[in-house]
């Protein structure tokens, strides 16, 4: 890592940097990175957490997924490490899942680019050889799941004697997955002089117990959920599509193509994301324009005039740039990222469905954000319908429907004499073939012959309202496919509906997530990727599995043994 000036030195004033981040005490290298990434202003958790973390204080923070926690701990961690003598590893970040380990590792790598920080994600399900080689070579920051971190500690390949900063991210989820003992075992092997930050969506007694054992006089911060009165959310059709992060851009394009949005506001978190999304949509033939804080007032005015005049279909914006914009007619509001709070969500979707018009609000959802979506449902007292990503067949059918409607409109309204003469010149061909060729040219001009691929489905968790979130097109209650046998979940067109299984064994018997995954995958002979969320309590566990497989899994596990004992298995009831 590069070493900067002492932490007491004044923060340089550099034009172009966000005054919000400068005021938090972040220095030029990190500010430059944030500027490059297009961050416009800090979120509430970043405003509250960064100053005490920069000051070296321990911190206990309550904030939900999607509120900007990663930057809240990564930015001060990187700045503090840049001023310290180099030891490896200098920081350890513990997270519950491999997906989050990869995500956080990539974020820390991006934020630390100017400081030349090396980062290594460490998680199970990955070949251990490359991890051993990287740890032997030396890395500055290790982002790990508890089980794999403990494995390396016991091998002697992950040494924590010199670690200066430890972060526990999504601590409540790590406890739900049965990692409490692993966390204690890891933390007791770190120096007492280290700085520790613990973040959790909830702070139950068991989280406070960990904080009491391992944090020194921590600063406590809570990012409160903004109260939203029932009925304040606009009466618009609200839908969400759950898609893995690598397929998010493709899902956005597919949803926009199928929805036929002609006056839509697309929200992104950062300026960089706004520019990337705008370029992607423009490349697909949409009339899209970007608007964000990095533009001059003249540029913003030009974009807004084009949107209001109907010359632009899609306005891609950050929340900061959209503040105060007077946009009277918006057919769709599309959240490319789920906003960090119910209040911001309500403010966003309130821009459609005005003056008695119908409106639609669409959200592209990361699988890990399903819990935050349910929180928004509770606060707004409104249901968000989760739908499967439209298939290529859905897209083609919708395109043909639009062409048919456009042709019928022209037949009703437009003079066609000049075109009838052209048809007569083509009389050597059957009329139906001439019409079909003309329609093909129209579809081609609208991008309808572009190569498309189906987007993989993602399992859907239970709704907080106590009912499964169903595919609205399949409401017969039987689950997709109607099969009760065990097999692979359907992919592509339909979203996989999930059921919750009660398994009568838990932490008391030493059960860990891997035990349950192994039992279900091996005994029921299904792909472990089909298994959803796992919650391990003291005497029982709850596992999400595809509804179409649930009865078969119950039957098979009822005859099997888990850790040498027979256990009761049934559908979980709240």
Q: Which residues contact residue 468 at a Cβ distance below 8 angstroms, ignoring those fewer than 6 apart?
A: 460, 462, 497, 498, 499, 547
pLDDT at 355: 53
Residue with tokens 């964000």: 292
What is the DSSP code (8-state) at residue 388? Answer: P
Q: Which of 105-114, 357-366, 483-492 has the lowest mean pLDDT?
A: 483-492
The CATH class that applies to domain 482-571 reads alpha beta
Give the count of beta carbons closer than 10 Å to the beta carbon of residue 82: 24
Predicted confidence (pLDDT) at residue 263 exceeds the cutoff of 70: yes
Predicted confidence (pLDDT) at residue 7 exceeds the cutoff of 60: no
The answer to whether 124 touches 392, Cβ cutoff 8 Å, is: no
Domain 237-387 bears CATH identifier 3.40.50.300: yes
Predicted confidence (pLDDT) at residue 328 exceeds the cutoff of 70: no
- What is the token pair recorded at 49? 């957490």
Mean pLDDT throughout 554-563? 84
Distant-in-sequence contacts of 437-443, Cβ < 8 A, 24+ apart:
439/403, 439/407, 442/403, 442/406, 443/399, 443/400, 443/403
- Provide the pLDDT confidence category of residue 535 given band limits of 50, 70 and 90: confident
Strand partners, 238: 361
Mean pLDDT throughout 66-89? 93
Residue 370 and residue 243: Cα distance in Å, rounded? 11
Q: Which residues contact residue 236 at a Cβ distance below 8 angstroms, ignoring those fewer than 6 apart?
A: 333, 349, 352, 353, 358, 359, 360, 361
pLDDT at 539: 81
Residue 132 and residue 111: Cα distance in Å, rounded? 25
| Concatenated DSSP letters of 168-197 | E-SHHHHHHTT-HHHHHHHHTTS-TTSEEE
Residue 218 and residue 24: Cα distance in Å, rounded? 19
Of 100-109, 363-372, 473-482, where does the model show the most confidence?
A: 100-109
Residue 45 and residue 74: Cα distance in Å, rounded? 12
Q: Which of 281, 248, 460 is nearest to 362 (CA)?
A: 248
Domain 19-222 bears CATH identifier 3.40.50.300: yes
% of the chain beyond a pLDDT of 90? 36
Predicted confidence (pLDDT) at residue 463 exceeds the cutoff of 70: no
The answer to whether 365 touches 242, Cβ cutoff 8 Å, is: yes
Dihedral sign computed on CA atoms, order 16, 18, 21, 22: positive
Mean pLDDT throughout 142-171? 94
Give all strands (DSSP E) within 300-447, no chain letters: 314-318, 332-335, 360-365, 385-387
What radius of gyration, in Å, describes the C-alpha atoms of the chain? Answer: 27
Phi, psi (rounded to 5 degrees) for 536: -110, 115
Phi, psi (rounded to 5 degrees) for 476: -85, -5
Instruction: Say how many CA atoms lie within 13 Å of 204 toward its Cβ.
Output: 7
Predicted confidence (pLDDT) at residue 59 exceeds the cutoff of 90: yes
Q: Which of 153-167, 225-239, 541-555 has the lowest mean pLDDT?
A: 225-239
Residue 124 and residue 182: Cα distance in Å, rounded? 14
> Does the fold of domain 237-387 match that of domain 19-222?
yes
Q: Which sequence spans correspond to the domains of the chain?
A: 19-222, 237-387, 392-445, 482-571
Predicted confidence (pLDDT) at residue 11 exceeds the cutoff of 50: no
pLDDT at 478: 30
**To the nearest whole number, what is the mean pLDDT of the chain?**
82
pLDDT at 483: 29
């Amino acid at each position: 890592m590069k070493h900067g000036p002492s932490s007491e030195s004044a923060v340089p004033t550099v034009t172009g940097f966000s005054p919000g981040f400068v005021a938090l005490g972040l220095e030029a290298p990190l500010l430059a990175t944030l500027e490059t990434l297009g961050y416009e202003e800090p979120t509430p958790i970043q405003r509250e957490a960064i100053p005490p973390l920069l000051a070296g204080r321990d911190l206990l923070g309550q904030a939900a997924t999607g509120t900007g926690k990663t930057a809240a701990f990564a930015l001060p961690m990187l700045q503090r490490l840049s001023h310290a003598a180099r030891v490896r590893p200098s920081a350890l970040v513990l997270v519950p899942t491999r997906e989050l380990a990869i995500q956080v590792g990539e974020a820390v790598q991006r934020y630390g680019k100017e400081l030349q920080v090396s980062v290594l994600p460490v998680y199970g399900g990955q070949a251990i050889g490359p991890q051993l080689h990287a740890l032997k070579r030396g890395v500055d920051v290790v982002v790990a799941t508890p089980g794999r971190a403990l494995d390396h500690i016991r091998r002697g390949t992950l040494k924590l004697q010199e670690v200066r900063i430890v972060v526990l991210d999504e601590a409540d989820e790590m406890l739900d997955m049965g990692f409490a003992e692993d966390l204690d075992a890891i933390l007791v092997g770190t120096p007492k002089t280290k700085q520790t930050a613990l973040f959790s969506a909830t702070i139950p007694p068991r989280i406070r117990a960990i904080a009491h054992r391992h944090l020194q006089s921590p600063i406590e911060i809570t990012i409160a959920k903004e109260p939203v009165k029932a009925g304040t959310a606009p009466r618009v059709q609200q839908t969400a599509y759950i898609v893995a992060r690598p397929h998010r851009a493709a899902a956005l394009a597919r949803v926009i193509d199928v929805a036929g949005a002609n006056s839509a506001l697309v929200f992104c978190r950062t300026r960089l994301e706004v520019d990337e999304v705008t370029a992607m949509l423009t490349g697909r033939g949409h009339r899209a324009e970007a608007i964000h804080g990095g533009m001059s007032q003249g540029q913003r005015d030009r974009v807004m005039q084009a949107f209001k005049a109907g010359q632009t279909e899609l306005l891609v914006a950050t929340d900061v740039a959209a503040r105060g914009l007077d946009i009277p007619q918006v057919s769709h509001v599309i959240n490319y990222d789920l906003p960090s709070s119910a209040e911001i969500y309500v403010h966003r979707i309130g821009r459609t469905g005005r003056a008695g018009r119908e409106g639609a609000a669409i959200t592209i959802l990361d699988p890990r954000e399903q819990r935050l979506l349910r929180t928004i449902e509770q606060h707004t007292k409104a249901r968000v319908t989760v739908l499967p990503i439209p298939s290529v067949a859905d897209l083609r059918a919708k395109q043909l429907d639009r062409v048919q409607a456009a042709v019928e409109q022209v037949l009703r309204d437009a003079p066609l004499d000049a075109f009838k003469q052209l048809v007569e010149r083509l009389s050597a061909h059957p009329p139906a073939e001439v019409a079909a060729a003309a329609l093909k040219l129209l579809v081609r001009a609208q991008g309808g012959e572009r190569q498309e691929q189906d987007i993989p489905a993602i399992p859907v968790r239970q709704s907080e309202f106590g009912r499964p979130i169903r595919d609205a097109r399949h409401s017969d209650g039987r689950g997709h496919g109607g099969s009760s046998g065990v097999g692979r979940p359907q992919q592509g067109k339909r979203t996989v509906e999930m059921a919750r299984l009660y398994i009568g064994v838990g932490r008391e018997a030493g059960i860990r997530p891997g035990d349950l995954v192994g039992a279900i995958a091996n005994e029921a002979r299904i792909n472990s990727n089909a298994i959803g969320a796992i919650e391990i309590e003291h005497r029982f566990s709850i596992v999400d599995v595809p509804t179409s497989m649930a009865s078969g899994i119950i039957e098979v596990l009822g005859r099997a043994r888990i850790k040498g004992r027979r256990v009761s298995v049934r559908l979980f009831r709240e």
